[in-house]
A and B are shown apart, each in its own frame.
Chain A
């Protein structure tokens, strides 16, 4: 589904992501694990086209996305939920969801309302005034209305209460089953990653240093990668 090869990103002269390569199959949840500053967010921003990549290829169902502006990547089936959620704060909840629709006549599918009841319940509230967990649901809904084949989620658990993190994990697995969606999620919280992921990658200083399936995942080894 998503195929990343020799993917390199740099800020000016300093290279941050070095020739990263991975694949994520249809209906698979892939977790990218790593501590702060290891290049997770940079990788994700560059995959969606907010940051330019210096080299390598990103293929979605065989089509190369490298060099395309963000909105064209979204049209080809990639969706992105950034770290820190980034709702449009002064727009209402409903308006935030509507921004993901391409055409004037499109409407929000009923499925979205049943997955995220808060969108109907809080439709007219300003998105900026929602709590972190509510905003997280909102931005996932906003990404889903673009009908993606692959969803990129950057640190969805950051700044969210532990009790809600459990709900979020259930939600992601449900969305994956419902839509056959491929999800690539970057994460530092090991328990969350083990709840949702089919496979885990470990990124360190911009290199992928380890990968494993969930069945083989060893919390002790992973814990070592994540501890400071």
Chain B
């Protein structure tokens, strides 16, 4: 790093920081869905990454379709892709819960194995349908280019957009969880399933909706992912480990914890990556997390209440 002036160094830090924010956005969206499913229902959904892939392929398909059949739509398809990606992942999640997960609530280890198997099936389905090669959605023109607040600093517009999307979705999920009657039913079911049923809550329906919602959010993460990477059959599974890390590190039942932990993991990784190799950065991030988890086994944030 010889010959680098202090201001250049600052610019690099800022740009890496924004780079980290894109990763943070995808991680947070993934973790949000996973935290809802894992934290609230105790199901470890190993196939969660594949729901990201579903959202990413949906975006790709819409991109291809709009280029071929409706060029006027090319500039707007991405907005539609976010909604359709959510919808497709939501519906598939709903079906998966109904066909498989609901039979496994009392067997956490089996659900781990079963969802892992599901993830392999889904990956192979993607491979057979879209081929093993990675594909990319064409970004609409308004997402290309960058914002230059000052000489030497380039902030990509797609990163900014993904971040805004993530913020909006996180707020929407928080509002749904903490201010709606449906969210109240979810929180009651989490705390005492038997009792929730005995005050009149249809817990089976709550579970199905919760699982589907978590998957739908992963679908949106998939749409967001297409702006920063290209989509292959295993695109989502590359994120699953990091996502679990975010959920466990943040404390499984705390939304605020999930946000803080996604942010710190993405930023640490992305900043360190500039100074050393990618795998060294990962080693340092992981070691730090393990250290902190040893001291705070319940994660960054936890609920304190008399039991």
Residues of A that sit less than 8 Å from B by CB: 48-50, 69-71, 74-75, 79-80, 82, 86, 88-91, 95, 98-104, 126, 128-129, 142-143, 146
Contacts and interface: CB of A to CB of B under 8 A. Distances in A.
Nearest to A100: B199
Interface of B: 180-182, 184-185, 187-188, 191-192, 194-204, 303, 305-307
B202 A86 contact: no
Contacts of A128: 305-307
A88 B191 contact: yes
A90 B191 contact: yes
Looking at chain B's contact residues, the main secondary structure is helix
Given A71-B203, A74-B200, A103-B181, 15 more contacts: A70-B198, A74-B199, A75-B200, A80-B199, A82-B195, A88-B187, A89-B191, A90-B187, A90-B191, A99-B184, A99-B201, A100-B200, A104-B180, A104-B182, A146-B199
Contacts of B184: 91, 95, 98-99
A50 B305 contact: no
Nearest to A129: B306
Name the residue among A50, A75, A88 with the largest chain B CB count within 10 angstroms: A88
12 contacts: A50-B194, A69-B197, A70-B197, A74-B197, A74-B200, A75-B200, A89-B305, A99-B184, A99-B188, A129-B306, A142-B199, A143-B199
A142 B195 CA distance: 11
Contact of A91 (B180, B181, B182, B191): B191
A74 B198 contact: yes
Nearest 7 CB-CB pairings of A with B: A70-B197, A74-B200, A128-B305, A99-B188, A88-B191, A104-B181, A80-B198
A86 B181 contact: no
Contacts of B195: 82, 86, 88
Nearest to B303: A90
A119 to B, nearest CB: 15
Contacts of B306: 89, 128-129
Contacts of B191: 88-91
A99 B185 contact: yes
B197 A49 contact: yes
Contacts of A71: 197-198, 200-203
A88 B198 contact: no
B197 A86 contact: no
A89 B307 contact: yes
A69 B200 contact: no
A135 B76 CA distance: 54
Given A71-B203, A98-B184, A101-B181, A88 B197 contact: no
A69 B196 CA distance: 12
Contact of B194 (A70, A74, A103, A146): A70
Contacts of B203: 71
A143 B188 CA distance: 14
A225 to B, nearest CB: 28
Nearest to A126: B305
A58 to B, nearest CB: 14
Contacts of A95: 184, 187-188
A100 B307 CA distance: 21
Nearest to A86: B195
A74 B199 CA distance: 7
A43 B195 CA distance: 16
Given A89-B191, A129-B306, A99 B197 contact: no
A79 B204 CA distance: 19
A82 B188 contact: no
A70 B197 CA distance: 5
B173 to A, nearest CB: 18
B251 to A, nearest CB: 13
A104 B179 CA distance: 11
With a 10 A CB-CB cut-off, give which of B195, B204, B305 has the most chain A CB atoms: B195
B181 A50 contact: no
A198 B90 CA distance: 53
Contacts of B185: 99
